[in-house]
A and B are shown apart, each in its own frame.
Chain A
Amino acid sequence: MAFVQNFPFMSILLSLFSGPLCSVLDGKWARRVNTAVIAVIGIMSAFVLKHVSAGQPYVYRMGHFSAPWGNEIRVGTLEAFMACFFCAVMLLCMLGGIRERAAQIEEGKQNLYYVMVNLLLCSLLALIYTNDLFTAYVFVEINTISACGLIMIRQTGRTFEAATRYMIMSLLGSGLLLLGICHLYAVTGHLLMSNIKEQVQVITATGQYHISLMVALGLMSVGLAIKSALYPFHAWLPDAYGYSTLSSSAILSSLVSKGYIFLLIKIFYRVVGIQAVRESKVVNVLFVFGIAGMIMGSLSAIKEENLKRMIAYSSVAQIGYIYMGLGLATDAGAIASLYHVLSHAATKSLLFVAAAGLAQASGGSDRYGDITGAGFRNRLAGVAFTVGSLSMVGMPVFSGFISKLLFARAAVGHAHKMLPTVIALAVSTILNAVYFMKTVIRIYTIRPVEPGREGENSGSGGTGRQSTGGIGAVSAIEVAEAEILSKETGRTVRLLEEPAKAAALVCFILLNLILGLNSDPIVRLIQGGIEMFE
């Protein structure tokens, strides 16, 4: 066994034990440890990815106890890639939110935040790698607890309420998941995914326990759907994402919900078997609610007056896309969904960080009226927000276009779900355009000024949106101009005022462009990973 094969196990343990370590450190050192841990795990996952993409997927027996008693993790290309990608996104989310964390979290509790993040990373990795359904359940719970911590750590009344709601809905979800696992255990007598699948094939061949199996599938799907905020179980989401500190919102929206979705895909492919899933009616339910989410989430976002909550509601719509893809119950649909997981993770966290940058330039307020012209005051955030919005609208070049393309292509040829899917895609694109482009237009609109100051407005044209190449070209004159503008409405944020956030934004934009321009290898990788599931 190659040494590199230990890495998945080691990365889970590393993130798990760096949690307690952070609890005894002070905030600054905890942050450093946390950053290092995420980076190291990301690099390790990259090595694992390289290792498995050259050869076969492998099963790693914890403590060398063999099945069916031992606990296993299983590593294929998709698992390794997801781990690597999640680490990269998480690192960028943490980088982007340093200032907000310092401002919004009490001095003595700074290190606790990193405890939670480490635990969250640990549970995400475990969800990705595990081959054991009960282990998955345990880490789902750890995930929930640490996510609650991430929401609560900014201690305001709003976040307490949000965390409580999140807790209640999440526990309902995990309860259903547990019930589903129990049903499966009762029917098959196993907890390891591969063993369950063998038994399920035997059972379906003989036609026994059909109803139990369907109930189990339904419970697990609904449980995970609640946890990942599929419409109509999304009521907890806007508060949780909208009021928590920046890193939390970004991580929650781009990673936590995606961990559950990845688990669901694993359950579809590795536990129940995609064939049985396809024949069941459960996927139709997911499909219908996915489409409902795409529309309703966007409608709620249109009504929203607060930038962060608007982005949060947009998550509901994007989760809808993912479930719509899963609802197609084809490999192409699953590939599209997984691609959208990546695309949404890269885009949504970009939007959250950019929105924070815009708020920073508008006196800390992210109310819709206050961010008028913020794109001129914080150029990089303006460009980043525009990129994120265009990606959400599905503009070619950005990642959102490729996922839209994959969804549509997956849908075409499907007997009954073809037209609903493509039309829902089109309608949802329009709705996305309504709220995202409205915001983009607003951040590049100059607030009406008193008659005496009109002359000062000239010259600061909309060059910011032109291309990402222009980022470095913010000249001193432009900054000075923007300063005059922002005397009352906010302040100008210089490019290098907060290098970490700027770096995070640039990396997110690049990530988006990579996903949008170089999608072929990634799609092949996902496809290979799904084949390895079998």
Chain B
Amino acid sequence: MSEVIMLLAVILPVFTGILLPLLSFRSRRAMRIYLETAVCVNSGLVCLLLMDAPQRALTVFRFTHDLSITLGLDGPGAVFAGLAAFLWPFAMLYSFEYMEKEENAESFFLFYTATYGVTLGVALSENILTMYFFFEMLSLVTLPLVMHTRTREAVLASRAYLYYMLGGAAFAFIGMIFVLVYGTTSSFVPGGVLDMANIAEKKDTLLLVYVLCFCGFSVKTAMWPFSSWLPKASVAPTPVTALLHAVAVVNTGAFAVMRVTYYSFGTGLLRGTWAQHVVTGLAVFTILYGCSRALKETHLKRRLAWSTVSNLSYMLFGVTLMTPLGMLGAMAHLVFHSLMKMCAFLCAGAVIHRTGRNFVHELDGLGRRMPKVFLCFAVSALGLMGVPGLCGFVSKWYLAKAAAACGEPLSWAGVAALLVSALLTAIYMTSIVVRAFFAGDDLDHGATEVTADPGWRMLAPLVLFALLTVGLGLYSGPVVRALEAAVLGKM
């Protein structure tokens, strides 16, 4: 029975989305209730799945005799699915208020809801073809969201978005083919599926293919040199940037890289090879690159986007350590970063929604007008810096520990990059907070007089995420243990 729930959880949001224009709601209120109910029910389904994990995989459809769309649930998949299921209802709630003034809300919610199902599809993929399928679908269903405003800028951004996404998938495709041909099975098996006897003399080719495949999948995580789409895509409405381009889409990239590295190619083959060095080098460089670009950026959402670039590379760095500990660190950062970055983006969205201000230098003095929003922002800023006591510290700690355990020069370089990046993060995040709260005496506060904190639908998610950032930082035990069980349990 619980196998069918997996399929339901993937399909329900997609159908909810498709039905939306057909139902053509008269009032926005009815539409909201319909959407929020559907999303909550779906999250409930995911909860059921997590509590009663299906033992068998469910083959939904066969493309060819040996390639099928198959859903299954294992540790990392459960973590990712749980994360999506937790975040989506809140993001939905937030977007109701955000989209109140916007036109075309219907098409927005259509794709916003459908993306939920596709993201779960990635999390619940049992084999590499299924993951590839949902990976491609994710690019397609999120495209209209980037295009949403239909301005020239949005069209250009969506073009770049699609080129990068499909291009990345094209290279990921190469990796998939090699796994299909040289693997014993296409399913994800901890430790990899490659048939070692078959590939002995082709090792270098295979490593090259791994690097191509890694790059292909990490286009979605906006790794350097494929990072320019992410800041451009911040032209989309903020709920999209927050949930999709800080969490769902980019995490899908990191998750896919994890799957390919640990479950398809296998770390046994990759550890200590030039391929590992190349991908670690790319990840470490991107950590610093993202931070530096964030520092330079004056547009609020784009700055956060660059920060995402850097943070996603933390995860990639963890993955490329090729040790279970590294994967644990990456997984922890995947969860914690999502909470913190959601919070930061939702705050930014609240500011844009209430004031229409987009640039960092326009935020002077807003802290007094919107104290709750900026307090939450401050919390997430501190969390992203990795201040002890907040959850960002926990994941960074695990990453650094895993890197130190590896003891290779490149992993030490990674630790150094983590430290430098913490410093840079401190500069680019706190400068926003400082501007908002301590604008100086010569500021004319009259200009912002009418501004106030947003309504409860917007406020509730960001307060919750800020509280979680603190709570999980102080009391990280259970979550980390759950992650350990999920990641290490089966490796």
Contacts and interface: CB of A to CB of B under 8 A. Distances in A.
Interface of A: 390, 393-397, 402, 404-405, 408-409, 412-413, 418-419, 422-423, 425-427, 429-430, 433-434, 437-438, 441, 444-446, 448, 457-459, 461-463, 465-467, 469-470, 473, 475, 517, 519-520, 523
A264 B274 CA distance: 44
A419 B205 contact: yes
A395 B135 CA distance: 10
Contact of B106 (A425, A461, A470): A461
B55 interface: no
B174 interface: yes
Given A396-B63, A429-B173, A441-B155, A409 B106 contact: no
A470 B205 CA distance: 45
The 9 closest A-B pairs by CB, nearest first: A461-B107, A429-B170, A433-B166, A458-B103, A426-B170, A430-B167, A408-B177, A412-B181, A462-B144
Nearest to B198: A413
B106 A405 contact: no
Nearest to B106: A461
B180 A409 contact: yes
30 contacts: A394-B173, A396-B136, A397-B133, A402-B63, A413-B181, A419-B208, A422-B174, A423-B174, A423-B212, A426-B167, A426-B174, A426-B212, A427-B170, A429-B169, A433-B162, A437-B166, A441-B143, A444-B144, A445-B150, A445-B155, A448-B152, A461-B107, A461-B110, A462-B107, A463-B21, A463-B107, A466-B110, A473-B22, A475-B24, A520-B62
Interface of B: 17-18, 21-22, 24, 61-65, 67, 103-104, 106-108, 110-111, 129, 132-133, 136, 140, 143-144, 147, 150, 152, 155, 158-159, 162-163, 166-167, 169-171, 173-174, 177-178, 180-182, 205, 208-209, 212, 216
Contacts of B129: 396
B173 A441 contact: no
Nearest to A455: B103
Contacts of A461: 21, 104, 106-108, 110, 144
Contacts of B159: 437-438, 441
B147 to A, nearest CB: 7
A426 B173 contact: yes
B18 A467 contact: yes
Given A408-B173, A461-B110, A462-B147, A429 B166 contact: yes
Contacts of A457: 103, 150
Contact of A434 (B104, B163, B180): B163
Contact of A409 (B63, B158, B166, B177): B177
A446 B150 contact: yes
Contacts of A412: 177-178, 181-182
Contacts of B143: 441
Nearest to B166: A433
Contacts of B174: 408, 422-423, 425-426
A318 to B, nearest CB: 16
B352 to A, nearest CB: 21
Contacts of B133: 396-397
A523 B167 contact: no
B158 A441 contact: yes
A426 B104 CA distance: 35
A434 to B, nearest CB: 6
A459 B205 contact: no
Contacts of A465: 144
Contacts of A458: 103-104
A517 B147 contact: no
Nearest to A465: B144
B101 to A, nearest CB: 12
A86 to B, nearest CB: 24
Given A426-B174, A437-B159, 4 more contacts: A413-B181, A437-B163, A457-B150, A466-B110
A244 B167 CA distance: 33
Contact of A433 (B18, B22, B167): B167
B158 to A, nearest CB: 6
A39 B162 CA distance: 41
Contact of A393 (B166, B171, B180, B205): B166
Contacts of A438: 159
Contacts of A409: 177, 180-181
A309 to B, nearest CB: 20
A475 B22 CA distance: 9
Given A404-B173, A422-B177, A429 B107 contact: no
Nearest to A419: B205
Nearest to B158: A441
Contact of A430 (B62, B163, B180): B163
A229 B132 CA distance: 33
Contacts of B208: 419
B310 to A, nearest CB: 26
